[in-house]
Amino acid sequence: MANITVNTTGTFPHIYLSTDLAVVAAGDPLVAAGKLDVTCLQDISISNVTGVFSWTDFCSASMNKLTTPSDNEVTTNMVIDPTIFFGDSASTGAALAGVDGLARNRTRVQFMVVMNGTDATSGAHYYKGQGYLTNIAPAVDPSSPVWISPLTLAVDGAYEVNVIT
């Protein structure tokens, strides 16, 4: 059985963010100045939730159903790295703002979630689209040596699923 390995060096998942919203061709990585590589992720969930509208009428004894548009999002928990979270003053774009700045300023971003490697790993599977960062909530407790924060990427529209060529 084939699988997508994520726990060996070179196959860790990455979330790339860019404020450059230019459309990137299918199979190509996000190539933008100031691209932010969100690493040290504890988990990632990619969801596509299609709603269903139900109704009854006098033509049938059963429920009728139609799908409604999907609500797509990417959720994760990240270990907070000061440069990734608060931004890098020596950089530009998403890297300058950091995760917190992009969320706080409601900046629309282009994202790429690479499941098994980097955005330059040929054959790596990815999800790519545009959206907004939300649900930032840094937290720590006495038994934890590091700060962590949830992060949600609220996808604006559909996302592309493909393999890096």
What residues does each domain of the chain span? Answer: 14-163
Query: Is the pLDDT assigned to residue 114 strictly greater than 70?
Result: yes
% of the chain at pLDDT higher than 70:
94
The phi and psi torsions of 23 (rounded to 5 degrees) equal -70, 130
Three-state SS for 147?
Answer: coil
14-163 CATH: 2.40.30
Q: pLDDT digits over 82-99, tens only?
A: 999 999 999 999 999 999
Instruction: Specify the 3-state DSSP secondary structure of 13.
Output: coil
Residue 76 has pLDDT above 70, yes or no: yes
Determine the pLDDT at residue 27: 63
Q: Per the structure block, which two tokens stand in for 71?
A: 């609500």
- Going by pLDDT thresholds of 50, 70 and 90, the confidence category of residue 1 is low
Rounded to an integer, the average pLDDT of 114-128 is 87
Q: Helix count (H) and strand count (E) of the chain?
A: 2, 8
Is residue 17 within 8 Å of 155, Cβ to Cβ?
no
Q: Is the dihedral angle over the CA atoms 12, 20, 91, 45 positive or is it negative?
A: negative
Q: Does residue 62 surpass a pLDDT of 90?
A: yes
Exposure string for 1-33, b = 16+ CB within 10 A, e = fewer:
eeeeeeeeeebbbbbbbbbbeeebeeeebbebe
pLDDT band (50, 70, 90) for residue 132: very high
